Structures are given as C-alpha cells and as structure tokens.
Amino acid sequence: MNIFVSENQVKEILSVSNTVNLLEEAMKSLSTGKGFNSPRKRLPASYNGGNLHFMAASWPEKGIAGHKSYVVANGKATFVVILYSTEGEGLLAVIEANLLGQIRTGAASGLASKYLANKDSKKLAVIGSGFQAETQLEAINSQFNLDEVRVYSRTKEKRDTFVEKMSKKLSIKINPSETSEEATDNCDIISLITSSPIPVISDKQITKGVHINAAGGNNWLRSELSSSSIKKFDFLSCDDINQAKTECKEFMEATEKGITSWNNIHELSNVIDEKIIGRKNVEDITLYESLGIAIQDIAAAKYIYDQLK
Amino acid sequence: MNIFVSENQVKEILSVSNTVNLLEEAMKSLSTGKGFNSPRKRLPASYNGGNLHFMAASWPEKGIAGHKSYVVANGKATFVVILYSTEGEGLLAVIEANLLGQIRTGAASGLASKYLANKDSKKLAVIGSGFQAETQLEAINSQFNLDEVRVYSRTKEKRDTFVEKMSKKLSIKINPSETSEEATDNCDIISLITSSPIPVISDKQITKGVHINAAGGNNWLRSELSSSSIKKFDFLSCDDINQAKTECKEFMEATEKGITSWNNIHELSNVIDEKIIGRKNVEDITLYESLGIAIQDIAAAKYIYDQLK
C-alpha cells in the first residue's frame, strides 16, 4: 500500500457508526491498562497566534502507537495522523486527518450518549450546525431510535442548509429551531458543538433526565455551559482528566470556584469498563465533556490501515 | 516535490558541518524567544518494553513547526520527522529520520564544543565507535584544527573498523586506543557516545581544560559519567533543562545527592545567545549533556525541505 492516506480514502473507509465501535474498544483500553493516552500539548506556531498541537497514544494490545498533530495558524488548519507498528513493522501510515477528526469527534459523542443517556432516548437537540455538527447527529442517531432532532445555530441559513443536508442523509425528521430554548425543550440528549466562548444553553435548559455532550471547545477560552450549571449534573465525565485540567473551561472554572472538584469528574473509559456507574436513575442529568484524545485517532487510523492493507 | 523524503535524500542533502550552523541558529532561537521546544515524552509501545517517543518544536520566526517521533520496540526503530508550515502552506514534509538523527546529534556536539571547548583544541577522544560516533567526530573535526583523534570502545574489531572508515573519510590521524584512559589522556575534547548504563570514564580522566560532550544516553537508566564527577566541572550545560530533569541520569543523580543544583545547569542556547559565559578560563572543565531536542530536528528538516523545493 501507499503509506499516504488521503481525505478521500478516509471518507470511503471510515463510517461514523463503525467508529463508535472502534472508540468503544479503544477508550476502554485506557481503563484496563491496555492502552495509553498522552494529553494534547501546544506550542506557539505564529506571532499572529495559532499553535502546533500534538497528542499521542499507544495501544500495545493492538500492536500500534501514533499521534495526531496539526497546525492552526494564518487561516489554515492541517491535520495529520501517524500510525506506527510496535511489532517491528515500522511506519504504517500517514493519514490526512481533517475528516478523521470530524468522524471520531462525532463518534465520541455517540459513544458517550450510548453509555450515559437514557436507553429509550427519542429526542436530540444539536446546538451548532457546522462541519462537526454533522457527525454528532449521525453518531448519536446510530445509537438510538430517535423520533425527532432539533437544530439551533445563530444563522438561520446555516441551520436550514444543515437540516436539508442531514435530513436527506439520515432519513429522519430534523427541525430547525428559532432559539436554543426551543431546540432543547423536552430533549433526552443535547449535543453542543460550537466554538462559542460563552454558554450556548442556559442553566434552565438543563432538565431532569437529559444527557449533554459538550463537544465544541477544546481550549480554556471556550465554554458552552456556565460553570454554575455544573452543580446541576448528577454525573460529570470527560475523555481525559489531565487534558481537561488545561483545556476544559467549564470544569477548570467550576473546580476553581469550588462548585465541584476533580474527584467528581470521571473518565468515560471507566464507565465503559464498568468500574463506575454513570447514570443511576432515569432522572439523572449527565455530562460528557469531549475534548478529543489521541487514542481515538489511532484507533480510527488502525482501522483505515487494516482496510487498505 | 514529493512530500516524503527518504534516508537517501537526507544523506545527499544534509552534511554534518552545515548542520552545526543550522543548529547554532535554531538553538539560539530558544534563548531569544523566537523558537520553542517541547521535551521528549514517552508512552509504552509494547508489553516487551519499548516506547513511542515524541518531541515537538516550533520556530515561528522561520514559519515552521513540527516534531520527531519514533517507536523503538521488538528490535526495530523507526524515526519520522514531520514539518509543517505555520504560514498557511500546510504539511511540508514527512522525513525518514534515522540518518537525520545521527547527523544532528553529531552536530550538537560540534556546536557545544565550538562554544565551550578551548579554541585551540587539538586532541579529541571519542569513547564509543558505533553509528552515532561517526558524526561526533566529523562535527567536532569541522570546528577545530585537530591534530589527533583517539577512539576507544570495548570491542577491538569495532574500533578498528571505525578508525579505518573515518580516517579515509576525514583524512586526519585517528588512533585506536586499548583503554579509555589511553584515549582521553591529555585530550582537549572528549565525546562520550555509548549506550552504557555505567560511567565510561573515571573521575580521574576529567582533567583541567577539557570539554566533555556526554551524548550517548537519553534516558535515566544510562549514564556515561559518575554523579560525583559533576563537582569537577566549572560549567554544566545541556540542551533542554526540562528534558534533562527526566532523562539525564548524571544531573538527576547529582542534584538528588546535593552535588549540584539545577540552578547551576545551563542551556547551551543561553551561551550561544551570550546571556551567560560558558568557559571563563583555559583551565575550566566544561560539560555538555546532549539529550537531543526537537528544534534540532525541525531545523534540519527545514533545510532539507528548502533544498528539495
């Protein structure tokens, strides 16, 4: 095989629903000690702002290790995932990873919803209607029998375009909402997928029984929920606690203010591995802060490599 | 250009003496704040031992960022350097980096010797005669008018082969030594380039005026000098203090035992930038602990990319 894998090849090989399964096994490995994840780090890439981001993981059980890195600077983002064999086969693949990132981020919310939302969840709200919102919807839809999806974002044209595109793709009922409140009203699952620096839902919108994925921001300048809202949740989780301590504004602010403590925040891997119970009651309110971690990237990369081989 | 750069292309493009100059500018940038380096990290790669290693750097002044990563496991090592543009040009190159690593590691000792050894140094001892020893010799030779080089390693056949190969290549007088003591006797510069877990020269071999590069080990299980020897040096330096705190056994052990403190250990970048003076007297004894840092890799990578473009 050619060691380079293009976005088009990723598109052909990697489905959102299958990636939920890949991530389930990969993230569980972090709890069982069969996989290892290193939090994202950043270095300044430009005097105009922007960073080099790099994050690594290894999964000895599967004979792989690797990393994602990307530069976001001067209006351009370039994502690359590198996959190595740890069993003597050397460099396996160099993968263009913009689409891979979109798919695994959606899949992570699908996986978190599978473990934390009520099993009979029917109604989903998606706040945000950009590139990343598509896979949030697709992944969660793959795990539940949804009968209604509502979408809100600030620009009417964008949400209407999103609704049209995704209705065709998934053949389910998707409604655009005029307000964030209208979108989340009586929903079982809410996915927040914006780049907002301020809360996109109010504390009042967080109601009994709901599961929320906060998947939009991965740096401490962005938050989609208020820190005060954190006390409403019966279960708080994220993908990587150490990464959350430098990237997750909601948790950083809530722990700083004494609204919660890091001891009350759990990694999803431990829920998958049944070391802890996430949702205990139908009325529990649960939160998954999705920052995006490297073991997700290398799990997807391994699947792509295996299919191409 | 093809984005993938092979070992053979690296061999054609990257000379040891030129890399000394590349590293001079790159390492100085760490002192001036124009470049940034992130210490090497490791993740377990295999149940049989072995790691994924990854280390990143950015150099906004030059419009580049990138990283080296490698897996050493199950008897195989694979090194890759990735170079990104930070000015909107995306991924620039994916470079096979075994040779690149050999060249920049030699060049780092050449650079450290240029700044820390006596200017009229004539005699060099190299302890170790493997792959990495070749570029130590070549780089230091490029910076001084050497009239004698002595080489010691435990296996006579290996050091004889080394002497034969390098004598031809550099047309200088290289003598194999029967003992480490014979090799270092009355030398101006000593390069230690072994994978030894225990000291390869005794404290007695560290005599007035000498500069030593300890370039062989980059993890805390390896040391080429005793911790007690550290007190003999008038100037202690390394490439990256934070990396040294987890990788440099000599310094870790000497600071733990109170033989020196981290405050007395300086980064070479500050010497190059003239923020501090390394050697103050002809009789000073100086040490450079070379661990290998990512900004060296991306500086070499940028040169390779520019030549191919």
Average pLDDT, integer, range A110-139: 98
- Does B108 map to a domain? no
pLDDT for res A218: 86
**C-alpha gyration radius of chain A:** 18
Q: Walk across the sheet containing B174-176 and list its strands.
A: B174-176, B148-152, B123-127, B189-192, B211-214, B286-289, B235-238, B265-267
Q: What is the 3-state secondary structure (H, E, C) of A191-245?
A: EECCCCCCCCCCHHHCCCCCEEEECCCCCCCCCCCCCHHHHHCCEEEECCHHHHH
Indicate whether A102 pLDDT > 70: yes
Tell whether B302 and B280 lie within a shared domain.
no
Q: Which residue has the tokens 């000593």?
A: B190
Residues A112 and A91 in one domain: no
Q: Is A3 helix (H, G, I), strand (E, B) or coil?
A: coil
Contact A170, A162 (CB under 8 A): no
Collect all residues of chain B within an 8 Å Cβ-Cβ radius of residue A57.
43
Domain region containing B94 = 4-101+295-308
- What is the count of residue pairs from A and B with beta carbons less than 8 Å apart? 127
Residues A163-169: what's their mean pLDDT?
A: 96
Clarify whether residues B28 and B39 are in a common domain.
yes
pLDDT score recorded for residue A110: 98
Does any domain span residue B229?
A: yes
Does pLDDT of A1 surpass 60?
no
Number of domains in chain A: 2
Residue A52 has pLDDT above 90, yes or no: yes
Chain A CB contacts of B3 below 8 Å:
4
Instruction: Answer yes or no: do A163 and A71 share one domain.
Output: no
| pLDDT tens sequence across A193-209 | 999 999 999 999 999 99
Backbone angles phi, psi at A194, to 5 degrees: -130, 170
Give the type of residue at A185: D
pLDDT at A221: 87
Is B188 contained in some domain? Answer: yes
Residue A212 near residue A193 (C-beta atoms within 8 A): no
Question: Which ranges of chain B have pLDDT less than 50?
Answer: none
Q: What's the mean pLDDT when you consider all of chain A?
A: 96
User: What is the nearest CA distance from A118 to chain B, expressed in angstroms?
Assistant: 36
Please, which pLDDT band fits residue A217 given cuts at 50, 70 and 90? Answer: confident
Contact A86 B71 (CB under 8 A): yes
For an interface test with A, give the residue of B87, B95, B297 to mutate (most A CBs within 10 A).
B87
Classify the C-alpha dihedral B119-B125-B128-B129 as positive or negative.
Answer: positive
Which one of B37, B45, B85 has the shortest CB-CB distance to A58? Answer: B45
CB–CB contact A88 B75 (8 Å): yes
Q: Which of A271, A40, A132, A140 is nearest to B41 (CA)?
A: A40
Chain A closest-CA separation from residue B174 CA (Å) = 36
pLDDT at B117: 98
Task: Give the per-residue pLDDT at B49.
Answer: 86
> CA neighbours within 13 Å on the CB side: how many for B229?
22
Q: What are phi and psi of B302, to 5 degrees?
A: -65, -40
Q: Does A27 share its domain with A160?
A: no
DSSP-assigned letter for residue A49: S
Residue A185, phi then psi, degrees to nearest 5: -55, 120
Residues of A with CB under 8 A from a CB of B: 3-4, 36-38, 41, 43-47, 50-52, 54, 56-58, 60, 63, 65-67, 69-71, 73-76, 78, 80, 82, 84-91, 94
Which regions of A60-154 does DSSP assign to beta strands (E)? 64-73, 76-85, 91-96, 123-127, 148-152
Looking at the fold, whether B163 and B280 belong to one and the same domain comes out as yes
Question: Is residue B228 a part of any domain in this protein?
Answer: yes
Q: Are residues A181 and A124 in the same domain?
A: yes
Look at residue B116 in the predicted model and tell me its pLDDT: 98
What is the percentage of chain A residues whose pLDDT exceeds 90?
94
| Nearest-angstrom CA–CA distance, A55 and B102 | 25
One domain, residues B64 and B126:
no
* pTM of the model as a whole: 0.94
Cα–Cα distance measured from residue A174 to residue A195, given in angstroms and rounded to the nearest whole number = 22
**B111 in any annotated domain:** no
ipTM: 0.91
Contact at 8 Å (CB) between B288 and B213? yes
Instruction: Find out whether B28 and B276 touch, Cβ atoms under 8 Å.
Output: no
Q: What is the 3-state secondary structure (H, E, C) of chain B?
A: CCCEECHHHHHHHCCHHHHHHHHHHHHHHHHHCCCEEEEEEEEECCCCCCEEEEEEEEEHHHCEEEEEEEEEECCEEEEEEEEEECCCCCEEEEEECHHHHHHHHHHHHHHHHHHHCCCCCCEEEEECCCHHHHHHHHHHHHHCCCCEEEEECCCHHHHHHHHHHHHHHHCCCEEECCCHHHHHCCCCEEEECCCCCCCCCCHHHCCCCCEEEECCCCCCCCCCCCCHHHHHCCEEEECCHHHHHHHCHHHHHHHHCCCCCHHHEEEHHHHHCCCCCCCCCCCCCEEEECCCCHHHHHHHHHHHHHHHC
B75–A84 CB contact, under 8 Å: no
Query: Quick one: A136 and A177 in the same domain?
Result: yes
Q: Hey, what amino acid is at A1?
A: M
Task: Write out the residues of chain B at the interface with chain A, using a CB-CB cutoff of 8 A.
Answer: 3-4, 36-38, 41, 43-47, 50-52, 54, 56-58, 60, 65-67, 69-71, 73-76, 78, 80, 82, 84-91, 94
Considering only A46-55, A279-288, B15-24, B132-141, which range has the smallest mean pLDDT?
A46-55
Q: Are residues A92 and A127 in the same domain?
A: no
Tell whether B8 is covered by a domain: yes
Q: For residue A74, what pLDDT is reported?
A: 83
Contact between chains at A60 and B46 (C-beta distance less than 8 A): yes
- Domain containing residue B177: CATH number: 3.40.50.720
One domain, residues B192 and B278: yes
Compute the distance between CA of residue B43 and CA of residue A56 in angstroms, rounded to an integer.
Answer: 8
Q: Cα separation of B123 and A262, whole Å?
A: 58
* B107, part of any domain: no
- A190 and A124 in contact (C-beta within 8 Å)? yes
How do residues A171-185 score in pLDDT, each as one tens digit? 899 999 999 999 999
Mean pLDDT of A37-64: 95
Which chain A residues contact residue B94 at CB under 8 A?
94
In chain A, what residues touch B89 (CB-CB under 8 Å)?
Answer: 76
Structure-token match 């005669």, residue found: B129
| Residue type present at position B75 | G
Q: Which of B278, B15, B279 minimizes the C-alpha distance to B170? A: B15
Are A56 and A162 found together in one domain? no
CATH number at residue A8: 3.30.1780.10
Is B258 contained in some domain? yes
* Closest by Cβ to A44, choosing from B47, B60, B75: B60
